[in-house]
Amino acid sequence: MSLPVLLCVLFLGCAVQPPVVDPLPSWNETGAKTRILQFIERVSNEAGPDFVPVADRIAVFDNDGTLIVERPTIVQFEFLYNRIKEMAPDNPAWIDEQPFKAVLEDDRAALRSMGFRGRRPLVDAAQSEVFQEDYDAAVKRFLENGRHADFGRQYLDLVYAPMLELIALLEANEFRVFIVSGGGIDFIRGFSESIYGVPRDRVIGSSVKTDLRQRGEELSIYRKPGFASMNVSRFKPMNIWLHIGRRPIFAVGNSDGDLEMLKFTLQGGFPSMAILVQHDDAEREFEYSDDSVEVRKYAAQNDWVSVSMREDFGRVFVSDPVPAN
């Protein structure tokens, strides 16, 4: 090998071209994929007119329905139900008291009909009056042992493969990726690093009130009843500001609770992109649009990137087999 060629190889450039690898292999070759790839290339190209400095390359992803299956129930509610059952022996009165009764009897129809407010006591009972470490351990147990009723797989097997690839591609282009979810911040932290590759400090979510209490020799975080913040709708941009202190330039969501976050992302001074995931694949996932009436209207009017799970996802879940090419 001559010295010039050796130098080329050492510096991974010039004469030897690396093979072209598709960074989004689980995406079909559709317009959505093209627009996403072009956007990331544009803002990362230092020589181009749409270059965005690394510090401002902030991407935000909703969680339920955007990164992971949310039907028939969001995963965290399955955790709550499971934990209520775990705790039931110590709370004998629950068997006659709603909404606990419905959980203990597996009466899903009753739970659905109660709405979020009716189910709310479950949230406090299952997630507060407990030290943070014990809560984290309960989340871990559930994620290891729980199974999705329809798919029979672990919940974390029902993360969307195309979205994991998109997160990795953004990180490779020096974006900093944050999860911005209506779900509980500490629940999502139970798997954000191992599954999404998103560090715990880049998770923003709903949070409960806390206290600092002595536990033996240690000061520990104690979870109190009641929400400190419900991270949906207008509160998503407000919590983005609190945690990140910047307007994102890239946002992905799937429901009306993401509308303000998507708008907020598009209204900064940099080139930006908003993506709306549509659940239109009854065969491989679920088909529903009842929770995205407003955002779909707005997305259509404003030419946002619409991602159809049926059309644009070549593979849906990380646990699905990789199709032979």
Q: In the chain, which ranges are continuous DSSP H helix?
A: 3-10, 31-44, 75-87, 100-104, 108-127, 132-145, 161-172, 185-189, 235-243, 259-266, 293-301, 309-312
Sort strands 273-280 and 250-253 into parallel, antiparallel or unpaired.
Answer: parallel
Q: How many CA atoms lie within 13 A of 44 on its CB side?
A: 16
By beta-carbon proximity to a second copy, the closer residue of 4 and 31 is 4
Q: Of residues 207, 281, 298, 314, which one binds a second copy by CB under 8 A? A: 207
Q: Of residues 37, 244, 298, 319, which one binds a second copy by CB under 8 A? A: 244
Taking the complex as a whole, the smallest distance from the CB of residue 243 to a second copy amounts, in Å, to 6
What residues numbered 128-147 form the site for a second copy, per CB under 8 A? Answer: 132
Q: What's the farthest any 2 CA atoms get from each other in the chain?
A: 83
What residues numbered 211-240 form the site for a second copy, per CB under 8 A? Answer: 211-212, 217-219, 221, 228, 234-235, 237-238
Distance of CA 113 to the CA centre of its chain: 26
Q: Does 241 bind a second copy (CB under 8 A)?
A: yes
By beta-carbon proximity to a second copy, the closer residue of 17 and 214 is 214
Q: Are the C-beta atoms of residues 145 and 193 closer than 8 Å to each other?
A: no
User: Which residues does residue 103 pair with via DSSP β-bridges, in sequence order?
Assistant: none
Taking the complex as a whole, the smallest distance from the CB of residue 106 to a second copy amounts, in Å, to 32
Q: Of residues 186, 258, 285, 312, which one binds a second copy by CB under 8 A? A: 186
The residues, any chain, with a CB within 8 Å of residue 275's CB and separated by 6 or more, are 32, 36, 250, 251, 252, 253, 304, 305, 306, 307
Q: Of residues 68, 130, 203, 252, which one binds a second copy by CB under 8 A? A: 203
Q: Of residues 137, 149, 242, 282, which one binds a second copy by CB under 8 A? A: 242
Q: Does 263 bind a second copy (CB under 8 A)?
A: yes
Q: Of residues 18, 19, 152, 245, which one binds a second copy by CB under 8 A? A: 245
Q: What are phi and psi of 66, to 5 degrees?
A: -110, -40
Q: What is the DSSP letter of 324?
A: P
By beta-carbon proximity to a second copy, the closer residue of 132 and 308 is 132
Q: Using CB under 8 A as the criterion, what x/- string covers residues 67-106 for binding a second copy?
A: ----------------------------------------
Taking the complex as a whole, the smallest distance from the CB of residue 207 to a second copy amounts, in Å, to 6
Q: Are the C-beta atoms of residues 60 and 265 closer than 8 Å to each other?
A: yes
Question: Checking phi first, is residue 274 left (phi over 0); if not, alpha (psi -120 to 50) or beta?
Answer: beta
What residues numbered 7-46 form the site for a second copy, per CB under 8 A? Answer: 10
Q: Does 258 bind a second copy (CB under 8 A)?
A: no
- Residue 280 three-state SS: strand
Q: Of residues 91, 267, 289, 302, which one binds a second copy by CB under 8 A? A: 267
Binding residues vs a second copy (CB under 8 A): 3, 6, 10, 55, 132, 176, 178, 185-186, 189, 193, 199-203, 207, 210-212, 217-219, 221, 228, 234-235, 237-238, 241-246, 260, 263-264, 267
